[in-house]
Amino acid sequence: MGAGMARPESGGGNRRRKRSRRSRPMSEINVTPFVDVMMVLLIIFMVAAPLLTVGVPVQLPETAANALPSEEEEPLTVTLTAEGGLQIQTTEVARDEFIARLRAIAAERVSDRVFLRADGANSWDAVAEVMGALNRAGFNNIGLVTDIGGPTLDGSDG
């Protein structure tokens, strides 16, 4: 009968040691939740980034020019399509309404910078006509949008 009974001295001491091990602070940081959140954010940005570009398909000429620095305000983009149509951002605009619309936009904007995207099939006369209209509407800072990697004046490929 005495074999089934535990001694109180040995049982109480073990319990105290186990409690003190459990109550110690953990010295390692669990980074698994952080990695999971970062992976989800990466996937979201990879999917959303291509949707943020202005979606008017034009064949831009290639040059060796560097990219322009970005601004705080969303850049205004004017597109001259291969057929000669004009678009402000993604909205088709008739030629007779073009300058009036640009003047209304210029009154609301802080910056006078505008990006002109012209299809390579257009003549220089058509591009210069649109640039003159932009200037008349109050946009004096015009950036021509091109694709990178084109030829340079020294004959090498950029």
pLDDT at 137: 87
pLDDT at 73: 67
Tell whether 136 is covered by a domain. Answer: yes
Tell me: do 11 and 89 sit in the same domain. no
Tell me: do 28 and 76 sit in the same domain. no
Tell me: do 139 and 61 sit in the same domain. yes
Q: Count up the domains in the chain and report the number.
A: 2
pLDDT at 148: 74
pLDDT at 42: 93
Tell whether 157 is covered by a domain. Answer: no
Q: What's the rounded Cα separation, in Å, for the pair 61 and 4?
A: 93
Tell me the pLDDT of the chain (158 aa) as tens digits: 555 555 555 555 555 555 555 677 777 888 888 999 999 999 998 888 877 765 667 777 777 776 666 556 677 889 888 888 898 888 898 988 888 898 888 888 888 888 888 888 888 888 889 989 988 888 888 888 877 776 677 766 65
Tell me: do 73 and 44 sit in the same domain. no
Tell me: do 112 and 63 sit in the same domain. yes
Tell me: do 35 and 80 sit in the same domain. no
Q: Which of 13, 32, 50 represents a domain boundary (last residue)?
A: 50
Tell me: do 38 and 62 sit in the same domain. no
pTM of this prediction?
0.53
